[in-house]
Amino acid sequence: MTLPRFSDWGWFFLVWPLLAWSAEPVLRGTGDLGVIVERGAGRVVIVSTSGNSIVQRVEGLGDLSHASVVFSRDQRYAYVFGRDGGLSKVDILRGTLDKRIVQGGNSIGGAISQDGRLVAVANYEPGGLKVFAADTLDLVADIPAAYGDGKLSKVVGIADLPGDRFIYSLFDADQIWIADVRDSKAPKVEKFSHIGKSPYDALVTPNGRHYLAGLFGEDGIALLDTWQPQQGVQRILAHYGKGEEKLPVYKMPHLRGWAVAGHQAYLPAIGRHEVLVTDTINWKETGRIAVRGQPVFVVARPDGRQVWVNFAFPDNGYVQVIDTFTGQIVQTLEPGKAVLHLEFTPRGEAVWISARDDNKVVIYDTASFAKIAELAVESPSGIFFTARAQRIGF
Amino acid sequence: MTLPRFSDWGWFFLVWPLLAWSAEPVLRGTGDLGVIVERGAGRVVIVSTSGNSIVQRVEGLGDLSHASVVFSRDQRYAYVFGRDGGLSKVDILRGTLDKRIVQGGNSIGGAISQDGRLVAVANYEPGGLKVFAADTLDLVADIPAAYGDGKLSKVVGIADLPGDRFIYSLFDADQIWIADVRDSKAPKVEKFSHIGKSPYDALVTPNGRHYLAGLFGEDGIALLDTWQPQQGVQRILAHYGKGEEKLPVYKMPHLRGWAVAGHQAYLPAIGRHEVLVTDTINWKETGRIAVRGQPVFVVARPDGRQVWVNFAFPDNGYVQVIDTFTGQIVQTLEPGKAVLHLEFTPRGEAVWISARDDNKVVIYDTASFAKIAELAVESPSGIFFTARAQRIGF
């Protein structure tokens, strides 16, 4: 063998694989990753909870002024639902926008099916549910939220149920629907009417059993036991909503802001500086904890020992920590200006907090309350970790 | 530019990157992966729950006749604890044995710390706890289970607690210890004595709060509330263990075979063909469900709606399904001969069942009970999915 003369082609053949290799993503697990929404920039930031660090940014996701995220079952893809009706499939290993469609005019959130094959979007405009194949984002079902004389209602409060089912509420129709999309050409829809005035948000309990819808038009919460749907929708917490003054709907606390820890649920009072405590066995209120502002999100540490609370303006620079064992506030923190969201690492040793107006995300140790790190993130809003892929109702 | 003459070197430079690329593992998420122990062959099988398929096998893990597994926080590595004292770190993305050490004579299980930095092994021989750095497997702490006149006890029933802590029982010393390894050069050990005769296994509840140890030498369960350790160890279920005849210790049901669903725990009766139901708020027995054999593992589907049960010989070809809502048996299945273990996919749509003497793993749909697939696996025992990385106590 003789060495080749190093012509241009020679160098090319020697060097190209090294360049190509360096463009390949680093081999890594996905269990410790997450995404943070940069709400003003149409971007998400891919982060690592092991490194407390930013991995990469992904551009071009449209209007994320209100956005939520679900993950594929292998945790490789994040599906981002944007305010402008955009549905973006982000490859969090490659750090690329794998596919993006604009599937509606105005959208509020979405869900992924239990087996991960279907992604559903809850649309304000046109009012209804659209269901897509998770891999290709091809439309597989379109279920308009039709009521009355062919009117279409805004859809809110969507969650997945076991099987290829999604449960959601119709804000304008005062209804709760369960869509079974197993046969996507012929979806079956079960409808519950007169459930209460103007359901504006909802959640399912961690076991996927109870669906709770907040009502804007009256006090109380609408409860549907999905293991006994024939019992219909019941009213619980009849006084929930009696604030000192009526809040506009966009200031109503997120029901996703409820924490279920053990057999208690912790929820933001409406128009009061209180966290309510409710027994999830009989759904009766068992207590109230005074906090420093109007709570927005009340989030439980995974072991249920603590519940962390953020607040609406003008107290949105504060976070308080409740010890669920004693019912006492054990810490008041000031992470930064305009705290929008909180997310715990999967086993709960740390919590990540977005401070929109300080353009940073702050990470705390949940045992010592020491600040571990700060990350520069532009107008951060929602923080979502991949562990959600493996939890019912996320 | 002129094309190079294709000498041997020319072909080499053209072809080598293609060969090297093809040896690189396929880029994939880790959320839908798992490992199955091939107990007679010293091997683990890497599987995908999305594909219901085998990805790869990894050899050379020593004596896996009794083995358990925990996962790194990013889900990339499986730590396999083998009967022969082997601790193997398996890279489930590359399908390689990253590192293996033999750290004791005889070992029964291990745990990983909340933050994923430490892996602890519970040793029979020499009796004690050894703690290793999760990345390098370097020994960072060695805590002999010394009692009486310098005797060493077998260590059993290990689990992680929040912080760098591990809780475990001393079979020969009738003690429960909590080791805090935050300062690995000076571990702090809290000891609880006279907890009951011969604790042989243990578990923590899903919230990491209650530690329950089964007693071989007397009836009842030892309970420690780790949120109130000053209350000491209490006895619950005082009649647990009163079987028709005394079982040898190796036939005692695994406490890891308890299911906690909602606020009830479902546990194998000892020496009876029954599953006991216990309230986890007051720890009182609330019911018994008759089943067809001596239960070994009682495993809850993630939503808690079902509990699946396997049995000891001669009923070890059967599995029964209990609907927790009605308390009734809703299905009896015959997956194969010598059913050793059951594991649910993270959101519970499927369950994987090992049938050792049929050299297969059978996968069922948990809603319809239809068999989805069978995989050829040699003498399969334990099945472990990566979602465990994100759950307390696993």
Q: What is the per-residue DSSP string for B222-241?
A: EEEETTSGGG-EEEESTTTT
Q: Are B383 and B80 in contact (CB under 8 A)?
A: no
The yes-or-no verdict on residue B160 having pLDDT over 90 is yes
Domain match, A60 and A140 both: yes
Domain match, B168 and B258 both: no
A-B contacts (CB, under 8 Å): 189
Is B387 within 8 Å of chain A by CB?
Answer: yes
**Local structure of residue A94 (DSSP, 8 states):** T
Domain match, A273 and A387 both: yes
Domain match, B232 and B258 both: no
The yes-or-no verdict on residue B4 having pLDDT over 70 is no
Domain match, A71 and A219 both: yes
Backbone angles phi, psi at B102, to 5 degrees: -110, 105
| Amino acid letter for position B228 | Q
CA separation for the pair B58, B80 (Å, rounded): 11
- Edge-to-edge strands, sheet with A96-102: A67-71, A77-82, A86-91, A96-102
| Amino acid letter for position A202 | A
CA separation for the pair A123, A130 (Å, rounded): 8
A93 closest CA partner among A18, A19, A33, A22? A33
Domain match, A299 and A190 both: no
Q: Which residues pair with A47 in a beta bridge?
A: A34, A54
Q: Are B211 and B178 in contact (CB under 8 A)?
A: no
Q: Which of B114, B208, B349 is opposite residue A114, by nearest beta carbon?
A: B349
> How many domains, in total, are found in chain A?
2
Q: What is the pLDDT of residues A108-166, one digit of tens each?
A: 799 999 999 999 999 999 999 999 999 999 999 999 999 999 899 999 999 999 999 99
Backbone angles phi, psi at A308, to 5 degrees: -110, 140
- Give the mean model confidence (pLDDT) for residues B41-67: 96
Residue A258 lies inside a defined structural domain of this protein: yes
Q: What is the pLDDT of residues A345-375, one digit of tens each?
A: 999 999 999 999 999 999 999 999 999 999 9
Instruction: Indicate the pLDDT class of residue A28, thresholds 50, 70 and 90.
Output: very high
Instruction: Indicate the pLDDT class of residue A13, thresholds 50, 70 and 90.
Output: low
What is the reported pLDDT for A105? 84
Q: Give the CB-side neighbour count of residue A151, counting CA atoms within 13 A.
A: 11
Q: Write the ipTM.
A: 0.93
Domain match, B230 and B305 both: no
Q: What is the pLDDT of residues A157-191, one digit of tens each?
A: 999 999 999 999 999 999 999 999 999 999 999 99
- Give the mean model confidence (pLDDT) for residues A32-59: 97
Consecutive H or E run containing B8: helix B8-23
| Chain B residues close to A72, C-beta within 8 Å | 29, 31
Among candidate residues B206, B236, B266, the one where a domain is terminated: B236
| Amino acid letter for position A18 | L
| Cα dihedral sign, B30-B36-B38-B39 | positive
Domain match, A207 and A63 both: yes
Q: Other C-beta atoms within 10 Å of A74: how many?
A: 22
Which CATH number belongs to the domain containing residue A320 in this structure?
2.130.10.10
B161 closest CA partner among B212, B238, B226, B228? B226
CA separation for the pair B263, B150 (Å, rounded): 42
What is the reported pLDDT for B256? 76
Residue B32 lies inside a defined structural domain of this protein: no
Domain match, A195 and A222 both: yes
What is the reported pLDDT for A244? 72
The yes-or-no verdict on residue A252 having pLDDT over 80 is no
Query: What rounded mean pLDDT belongs to chain B?
Result: 92
- Give the mean model confidence (pLDDT) for residues B275-288: 93
CA separation for the pair B247, A357 (Å, rounded): 65
Q: Which of A163, A207, A347 is opposite residue B390, by nearest beta carbon?
A: A347
With tokens 């705290």, the residue in question is A339
Q: What is the pLDDT of residues A195-214, one digit of tens each?
A: 999 999 999 998 899 999 99
CB distance A347–B74 less than 8 Å? no
With tokens 């439309």, the residue in question is A139
- Give the mean model confidence (pLDDT) for residues B17-46: 88
Q: Which two tokens stand for residue B87?
A: 């601790």
Q: What is the pLDDT of residues A277-312, one digit of tens each?
A: 999 999 999 999 999 999 999 999 999 999 999 999
CB distance B305–A2 less than 8 Å? no
Region of poorest pLDDT, from A104-113, A221-230, B51-60, B314-323: A104-113
Instruction: Indicate the pLDDT class of residue A3, thresholds 50, 70 and 90.
Output: low
Q: Which domain holds residue A321?
A: 254-393
The yes-or-no verdict on residue A92 having pLDDT over 70 is yes
Task: Give Cα separations from A22 to A54, A99, B227 (angstroms).
Answer: 19, 24, 49
Domain match, B77 and B121 both: yes
Report the percent of chain B where pLDDT is more than 70: 95
Is A52 within 8 Å of chain B by CB?
Answer: no
What is the reported pLDDT for B23? 64
Q: Which two tokens stand for residue A281?
A: 């066995």
Domain match, B230 and B282 both: no
Q: Give the CB-side neighbour count of residue A199, counting CA atoms within 13 A.
A: 33
